[in-house]
Amino acid sequence: MKNYPLPMTGLEDAVGYRFADTEKLTLALTHSSYSNEMKSRDIIMECNERLEFLGDSVLSYITSGYLYSEFPDLPEGDLSRIRAGAVCEKTLYRLADAIGLGNYLMLGHGEEHTNGRKRPSILADAFEALLAAIYLDGGIEPVKEFLLPRITAEINGIIKAGNDRDYKTSLQQVVQKEHGDILEYVTVGERGPAHMKVFTVEARLNGNVIGTGNGRSKRAAEQNAAREALALFGL
């Protein structure tokens, strides 16, 4: 039977980063339930909630920067949607569980005996605190080295799930409910060199623009225009 928490060196191995100041890592792993128990014994011990606050911003900064640079054709709404999926509790829990983060947490007896080491909210919060601890100890680069390979896999999954939907077909089905409506896609612009062209397409319903999309191909631009139009219909 394992004695928890496990030595922190195991977590450093999983993360691929050695802390110059291990107190920062200790703080990231200290749940409020543990610090509250220590206070009841007149031992003052800070919990990881402030680090979690900072880590949330570090996570958003790195994820936003990656999305902005890697997907220049996506509008702000799509970037926000993808980021929201990439940094949600479910995703962070999965990333935390993959490195065995729960094994290293310092929990109070109540959380220890109610499976707190596997609770998604606790693990997601601790993951953000861990990012902040790495940032404070070594700067932004080691956080990127740890986070990006993991978060990009999540981002690619979110994008693939979105790409699997045929937005043009979905929009056509909505339009067909009204007889006589005319749906068309009109290319209204293109920019960039021949090998990196970006097309702009408008989705028009009875001559009125209901969606605009950009893409590296006309087909991709049409899909993005249809997606924006569907949002107009609340779909």
User: What single string gives the DSSP state of each residue in 147-180?
Assistant: HHHHHHHHHHHHHHHHHTS-HHHHHHHHHTTSTT
Domain chopping of the chain, boundaries:
8-163, 167-232
The length of the chain in residues reads: 235
- Homologous superfamily of 8-163: Ribonuclease III domain (1.10.1520.10)
C-alpha 133 chain-centroid distance: 19
Tokens 């107009």, residue located: 232
Partner residues linked to 191 by β-bridges? 198
pTM score, whole prediction: 0.71
Q: Is 228 a catalytic residue?
A: no
Residue 52, classed as helix, strand or coil, is helix
Residue 122, classed as helix, strand or coil, is helix
Q: Is 181 a catalytic residue?
A: no
Give residue 1's pLDDT. 47
Per CATH, 8-163 and 167-232 having the same topology is answered no
Give residue 80's pLDDT. 85
Give residue 179's pLDDT. 56
Among the four given CATH numbers 3.40.190.80, 1.10.10.10, 3.30.160.20, 3.40.50.1000, the one describing domain 167-232 = 3.30.160.20
Query: Cα–Cα distance between 203 and 184 in angstroms, integer?
Result: 6
The tens place of each residue's pLDDT in the chain, 235 residues long, gives 467 789 999 999 999 999 999 999 999 999 999 998 887 788 888 999 999 999 999 999 999 999 999 988 787 877 888 898 899 999 999 999 999 999 999 999 999 899 989 999 999 999 999 999 999 999 999 999 999 999 999 998 888 776 666 788 888 888 887 656 889 999 999 998 888 889 999 999 999 999 999 888 888 889 889 988 988 877 7
Query: Cα–Cα distance between 154 and 83 in angstroms, integer?
Result: 10
Query: Is 102 within 8 Å of 94 (Cβ atoms)?
Result: no
DSSP 30: B
230-233 long-range contacts (CB < 8 A, ≥24 apart) are 230/167, 230/170, 230/171, 230/174, 231/77, 233/174
Query: How do 208-215 and 183-191 pair as beta strands?
Result: unpaired
* H or E element at residue 15: helix 8-15
Give residue 71's pLDDT. 87
**Among the options 52, 111, 128, 228, which is catalytic?**
128
Query: Cα–Cα distance between 196 and 37 in angstroms, integer?
Result: 59
* H or E element at residue 76: helix 76-86
Give residue 77's pLDDT. 76
**Among the options 12, 56, 73, 112, which is catalytic?**
56
Phi, psi of 178, deg, nearest 5: -110, 110
